Amino acid sequence: MKSDTIAAVATGMTGAGIGVVRISGEEAIEIAEQIFHPAKEGKKLTEQKTYTMHYGTIVDGEEILDEVILLLMKAPHSYTAEDTVEIDCHGGSYVMKRILELVIRTGARAAEPGEFTRRAFLNGRIDLSQAEAVMDIIQAKNEHALRSSVRQLKGSVLRLIQKLREQILYEIAFIESALDDPEHVSLEGYPGRLGEKVDNLLKETGVLLIRAEQGRILKEGIRTVIIGKPNAGKSSLLNVLTGEARAIVTEIPGTTRDVLEEQVRIGGLILDVVDTAGIRRTEDLVEKIGVDRAKESLKDADLVLYVVDSSTPLDENDREIMELLKDQRVIVLLNKTDLPMETAPEMVEEILAVPTVAFSAKEETGLDVLEELLEEMFLDGKAVFDDEACLTSVRHRAAMEEAEESLKKVAESIALGMPEDFYFIDLTDAYEALGRILGESMGEDLVNEIFGKFCMGK
């Protein structure tokens, strides 16, 4: 890790009431003292206590740049565990730029994206899962995602992974001791005892992987595709969900020819919605491309909202669509319920065993039922998450899957009566895979990749 002093604007470079220039490193306080003139003469920053605030001005030579409040945090009691100074100035982009340039001229260098949090990680103040939670909080799109990220920042994932690793490490140490000193450490009956322990560990990893999928949904949103035949009301549904006329709606079938993507909020969930062309057999080249894209969009969908025109009977196009949806997570919206109904829920359910919602885009009814179904489908019916840890990172999930696979190999070795050194190898692999979640076993390239995604000043 570079040990020089770094600086950056920690707030957005836009007009605001307050802006923050952050300095961190061995020379942070000395640099601040050279450019900060306290209102109380004779006050020296190097002599002040940590967690104190000081009023004064930032001065570039004879020029006063701004009237500021300076926050002093001495190592190790700061975000980075280094000496840190934060200059609270006025939030104009020009004045913040001038102060940052002055700090750099005085001895600091411009921080790289995520470098403050990276230093907190490398200095041991937080583990890697907590570091990633910082960015998750910044990017949180809803209440659930925010709560999950805050819990992760407080160490929920850290404590959970540490507990799993401690159990695995005990078994690794026991096997190693028994192999090194068989006269004093007996392995008699051990495979059976280890089998029970591995079964319990697999149950825990299985639950965590299920919750990891929920965590991804909370963090990224539900990839949702609206599908149906022409003129069923797909674009009208998108307009209702977004609360504005995002899609063109006409009585002419086939108006939508390409995909249209929007992000909408239903209850506490975020839906990344794709409105598609109506699926039907057509000779129109442009419309046919739109139909093909609609079918292609189903491959990566977490959820399909299948819109059915309930005022008309099911036809060949509907049956073709339902055939496409048999392996998908689907909610059927029976639209146009403000008109006489020709297609009842049971008619759809005979072909496609999925939930149906009576819906009217015109009267905007049925959204409350849709919200309940979404919470039941993606949050086990809970409007908020409990206090259990939830893996929200793709990287975390991949490491957990690798650990689970290694534990399964241990179970297989026990069932086959393999020697104990086989258990040792796979238990060690599981231990190291879990360590990568916390950043205890990983390469510099991955660290660079993770922190390179952070925003400047954090």
In this prediction, residues 117-145 reach a mean pLDDT of 82
| Nearest alpha-carbon partner for 227 in 310, 313, 317, 288 | 317
Question: The domain that contains 244 carries what CATH number?
Answer: 3.40.50.300
What is the mean predicted confidence (pLDDT) over 293-322? 83
Burial pattern 256-277, b for ≥16 Cβ within 10 A else e, equals: bbebbebebebbbbbbbbbbbb
Locate the DSSP E strands across 228-309: 260-266, 269-275, 303-309
Side-chain-side CA neighbours of 232 within 13 Å: the count stands at: 30
Residue type, 8: A
Distance CA 364, CA 357 (A): 12
Asked if residue 42 is part of any domain, the answer here is: yes
C-alpha 338 chain-centroid distance: 40
Specify the long-range contacts of residues 37-41, CB closer than 8 Å, at least 24 apart. Answer: none
Q: What pLDDT is attached to residue 249?
A: 42
Residue 153 lies in a domain: yes
pLDDT in tens, 144-176: 677 777 877 888 888 889 999 999 999 998 888
pLDDT in the model for residue 98? 95
Specify whether 399 is located in the same domain as 362. Answer: no
Q: Which of these ranges, 47-51, 159-163, 244-248, has the smallest mean pLDDT?
A: 244-248
Contact 310, 295 (CB under 8 A): no
Between residues 1 and 47, the one the model is more confident about: 47
CA–CA separation, 198 vs 200, rounded Å?
Answer: 5
Any residues with CB less than 8 A from the CB of 431 and at least 6 apart, and which?
165, 168, 169, 172, 403
Across the range 111-131, mean pLDDT stands at 89
The rounded distance, in Å, linking the Cα atoms of 153 and 135 is 10
Provide the number of structural domains found in the chain.
3
Same domain, 247 and 371: yes
| Spatial separation of the C-alpha atoms in residues 359 and 441, rounded to whole Å | 52
Q: In terms of pLDDT, which residue wins out, 91 or 383? A: 91
DSSP-assigned beta bridge partners for residue 132: none
Percent of the chain residues topping a pLDDT of 70: 84
Whether 384 is covered by a domain: the verdict is: no
Question: Do both 368 and 253 map to the same domain?
Answer: yes
Residues 256 and 365 grouped into a single domain:
yes
User: Within this chain, do residues 26 and 169 fall inside the same structural domain, yes or no?
Assistant: no
| Cis ω before 340 (30° cut-off from 0) | no
Quote the pLDDT of residue 284: 56
Beta-strand pair 222-227/260-266: unpaired
Distant-in-sequence, close-in-space partners of 5: CB < 8 Å, separation ≥ 6? 23, 24, 25, 26, 27, 28, 31, 107, 108, 109
Do β-strands 269-275 and 36-38 pair in parallel, antiparallel, or remain unpaired? unpaired
pLDDT confidence of residue 445: 60
> Does 100 have pLDDT greater than 70?
yes
CATH of the domain at 147: 1.20.120.430
| pLDDT band with cut points at 50, 70 and 90 for residue 370 | confident
Range scoring the smallest mean pLDDT among 223-232, 283-292, 309-318:
283-292
Question: Which comes out higher in pLDDT, residue 255 or 312?
Answer: 312
CB 253 within 8 A of CB 279: no
CA distances from 71 to 83, 296, 356 (A): 11, 54, 57
Give the tokens for residue 157.
């994932």
Whether residue 213 is found in the same domain as residue 235? no
Token output for 419: 């020697």
Residues in the chain: 458
The highest-confidence range among 6-20, 124-138, 188-202, 242-256, by mean pLDDT, is 188-202
Give pLDDT tens digits for 2-29.
Answer: 579 999 999 877 778 899 999 999 999 9
- Does 360 lie in the same domain as 254? yes
Average pLDDT over residues 232-251: 66
Please tell me whether residues 286 and 158 are part of one structural domain.
no
Q: Are 111 and 457 in contact (CB under 8 A)?
A: yes
The C-alpha angle 349, 351, 352, rounded to 5 degrees, equals 60
Please tell me whether residue 164 adopts helix, strand or coil conformation. Answer: helix
For residue 422, being part of any structural domain is answered with yes
In a domain, 234, yes or no: yes
E runs forming strands in 336-402: 356-358
Give the pLDDT mean for 363-384.
76
**Which of 249-263, 297-311, 407-421, 432-446 is predicted most confidently?**
407-421
List residues bridging with 86 in a β-sheet. Answer: 22, 71
**Domain CATH for 62:** 3.30.1360.120
Q: How confident is the model at residue 105 (pLDDT cuts 50, 70, 90)?
A: very high
User: Which of 215-224, 377-386, 449-458 shows the lowest per-residue confidence on average (mean pLDDT)?
Assistant: 377-386
Kindly tell me if the per-residue pLDDT of 403 is higher than 90: yes
Mean pLDDT of 316-340: 85
Strands across the sheet containing 63-73: 36-38, 52-60, 63-73, 84-90, 18-24, 6-9, 109-110
Last residue of a domain, one of 94, 126, 158: 126
pLDDT tens-digit series, residues 377-389: 877 654 444 456 6
The reply to whether 147 and 103 lie within a common domain is: no
Instruction: Find the mean pLDDT for residues 347-364.
Output: 84
Residues 6+ apart with CB under 8 A from 147: 384, 385
Residue among 432, 404, 420, 409 nearest 169 (CA): 432
Distance CA 274, CA 296 (A): 12
Domain region containing 119: 6-126
Q: For residue 10, give the amino acid letter.
A: A
Q: Is residue 419 part of a domain?
A: yes
Per-residue confidence (pLDDT) for residue 71, from 0 to 100: 97
CA distance linking residue 400 with residue 417, whole number of Å: 26
Separation of alpha carbons 303 and 224, rounded Å: 5
What is the pLDDT of the chain when averaged over all its residues? 83
Q: Please state the rounded mean pLDDT for residues 338-364.
A: 84
Q: Which of the pair, 175 or 216, is modelled with greater confidence?
A: 175
pLDDT over 60 (residue 231):
yes
Domain ends where: 378, 399, 420?
378
Q: Is the pLDDT of residue 444 over 90?
A: no
How many CB atoms are located within 10 Å of the residue 390 CB?
A: 27
Q: Is residue 457 part of a domain?
A: no
**Which of 349, 378, 407 is the endpoint of a domain?**
378
Question: What contacts 323, CB < 8 A, 6 or more positions away?
Answer: none
Strands 84-90 and 109-110: unpaired
Q: Are residues 212 and 228 in the same domain?
A: no
Co-location of 82 and 141 in the same domain: no
Is 386 within a domain? no
Residues 224 and 373 reside in one and the same domain: yes
